[in-house]
Amino acid sequence: MNTPFKTMALAGICGMAAAAAQAADDSRIAMIPGGPHPYFAAWEQAGADAVRDFGIEAADYKVPQKWELTQQNQLLESLLSQGYNGFMIFPGDPVGAVSTAEELAENGAQVIAGAGCFKDPSPAAFCLGTDTGNSAYLGTKELLAAMGDGEKRIAHFTGFLVDPNTQLRIDAVNKAAEEAGATVVQVIADIDAPEPAEEKINAYLAAHADEVDGIITTAWVPAVVAANALRKMGDTGIHMVGIDHDEVVLTAIKDGVIDGTMLQNPYGQGYIGTFALDKLRSGCTVKDDAPFASNALTDKFIDSGTSYVDASTVDSYIDAMRAESDRILKDFEATYLTCN
């Protein structure tokens, strides 16, 4: 997938490579999402750039054929048998995936969680991902501000219920709405794929558009589908804040169809995650007093960054995520690792 995140390292992140300590000679890193999804596409280029910048043997993006835990587990076991020794995993299930992560660790592989966390206890050194609850909370606050005064009835379109981030997002949207005296009139989940998103969002808006003042989307595909739906519907007066950097969403912001989007940082996750796995393989250990944050799943969380962009900032959105990645990587080793 040709996204702007593929070239971020060329413009800034890779400048940090010169400060990196010696890489392990034989690190073979695999980056494994829960299944096919455009969000994770930036991991592929991130791995290639990390190989170039840090002298790592391999950092490959491998995708299960379906969003099924058994498919992910089989792929992980296969990659272990092929000699991969470092894994960044988006858990197909935060609890059910732990046993396979334990198998990887028992066979000498380093494991971290990327974009979504394992449920503690797990062998993952840490979880590097978006603070999804905070992102959804801030996005809802931006939506409420854009809606101005008057009644505020919100529809929330979100992702797979097996995704450990989805419930965090639902809770955060509800919290922001409650604080503002707004009402979440509908939550539609399990639609982070084209067919269910098209079917359920379009059907809901066809029947209930006049009952909704704002839309918050907290998953990639619903953001794209809802932005397209509002464009087709014309001037409905419905405000919307999306998520991620799909070109449909960015163009909708520029054209005034929607108000803004909450960016995540998948490229930074892949690039920094690969760097960290190689460091762990080269003998570094996680500091006992590392300043991890906590979320509902783990006490070993590192926020990979989030940022709101609207029409005034959408043309420079890459700069916001580049700055986040540079900031994290610059002090990552000193902050989180003990290296000889």
Per-residue pLDDT reduced to its tens digit, 200-209: 999 999 999 9
Per-residue model confidence as pLDDT tens digits over 282-301: 999 999 999 999 988 999 99
Residue 117 within any structural domain of the chain: yes
- At 298 the pLDDT is 96
Task: Look at residue 164 and tell me if it is in a domain.
Answer: yes
Of the listed ranges 3-7, 50-54, 84-88, 329-333, the least confidently predicted one is 3-7
- Same domain? 19 vs 81: yes
Strand partners, 339: none
Are residue 139 and residue 258 in the same domain, yes or no?
yes
| In the predicted structure, residue 132 carries a pLDDT above the cut 80 | yes
pLDDT digits (tens, 9 = 90+) for 23-42: 567 999 999 999 999 999 99
- 84 lies in the same domain as 184: no
Kindly list the distances between the CA atom of residue 74 and the CA atoms of 2, 32, 71, 101, 160, in Å, as whole numbers in the listed order.
Answer: 28, 11, 5, 12, 21
Q: CATH number of the domain at 206, please.
A: 3.40.50.2300
The CA distance from 295 to 191, in Å, is 24
pLDDT digits (tens, 9 = 90+) for 195-238: 999 999 999 999 999 999 999 999 999 999 999 999 999 999 99
User: Quick one: pLDDT band at residue 8, thresholds 50, 70, 90?
Assistant: very low
Per residue in 119-136, is it b (16+ CB within 10 Å) or e — as a string? beebbbbbbbbbbbbbbb
Residue 144 has pLDDT above 50, yes or no: yes
| Whether residue 11 is found in the same domain as residue 88 | yes
Residue 172 lies in a domain: yes
Say if residue 8 is in the same domain as residue 126.
yes
Q: What is the pLDDT of residue 22?
A: 52
Domain boundary among 232, 263, 294: 263
Same domain? For 181 and 164 the reply is yes
Which one-letter DSSP state was computed for residue 18? G
Same domain flag for 253 and 144: yes
- Determine the structural domain holding residue 208 and report its residue range: 132-263
Q: Total domain count for the chain?
A: 2
For 149-163, how does the pLDDT look when each residue is reduced to its tens digit (9 = 90+)?
A: 989 999 999 999 988
**Is the domain of 34 the same as that of 104?**
yes
Do 159 and 274 fall within a single domain?
no
